[in-house]
Amino acid sequence: MSFVLGLTGSIGMGKSTTARMFADKGIPVWDADATVHRLYAPGQPAALTIGALFPSAIDADGSVNRANLRALIQADPTVFDRLNTAVHPLVAADRAAFLMAHDAAPIVLLDVPLLYEISLDHACDAVAVVSAPAEVQRDRVLSRGAMTEAEFETILARQMPDAEKRKRADYIIPTTSLEAAETAVKDVLADIQRRIAEHA
């Protein structure tokens, strides 16, 4: 049975980069965003479900148009809840298959942006939160050019505040620099290995 470490953090906090650091150390990583991306591909279950619910969010090739979907969410907040109700069971099934496939691994990582918001922390043995100052977060997100300030604010409003996440976390990984994050990742793994050895 694996030690399940949840990794979370608000948008622009450096979660994906941190998840890659764990992967580079041989930890199997389940990425919620990548799973959704896969399920949004043409002919995949989520794309078919979204097509039935929100036809204008589907491109001619059958894939989900994320920009159109974001616009629908901006225009009608209930769209987000309906979307989650449809997609979450599909994502949960994928996560369960991952955990089963990696059952022999000492440690596995669940990389989930809304981990606390969907109460997935209860399925984890520990949770690590990536964190950076608010101004760094905002600069990172807006400098990508992938979303407007209004879209960024909408996403932030749906996410638990960073301070609350840090309060709940077992581990905090500062992402102000790659070096700081790397050091924290090593420390987290060392502590988990110590915890596993104690319970062996």
Q: What is the pLDDT along the chain (200 residues), one digit of tens a residue?
A: 899 999 999 989 999 999 999 999 999 999 999 999 999 999 999 999 999 999 999 999 999 998 899 899 889 989 988 998 999 999 999 999 999 999 999 999 999 999 999 999 999 999 999 999 999 998 888 988 778 888 888 888 888 999 999 999 999 999 999 999 999 999 999 999 999 999 87
**Do residues 42 and 62 lie in contact, with contact meaning Cβ atoms separated by under 8 Å?**
yes
23, 125 contact by CB (below 8 A): no
Unique residue bearing structure tokens 């059952």: 103
State the residue for tokens 């407007």: 148
Query: What pLDDT score was predicted for residue 153?
Result: 86
Tokens 């050019």 label which residue? 145
Token output for 86: 């449809």
Fold category of 1-28+106-200 in CATH: Rossmann fold (3.40.50)
Residue 9 to residue 134: CA distance in whole angstroms: 12
Give the model confidence (pLDDT) of 85-117 as tens digits. Answer: 999 999 999 999 999 999 999 999 999 999 999
Q: Give the span between the Cα atoms of 185 and 18, in whole angstroms.
A: 8
Residue 6: closest CA among 94, 99, 90: 99
Question: 24: Cβ–Cβ under 8 A, 6 or more apart, which residues?
Answer: none
Query: Residue ranges of the domains in the chain?
Result: 1-28+106-200, 33-101
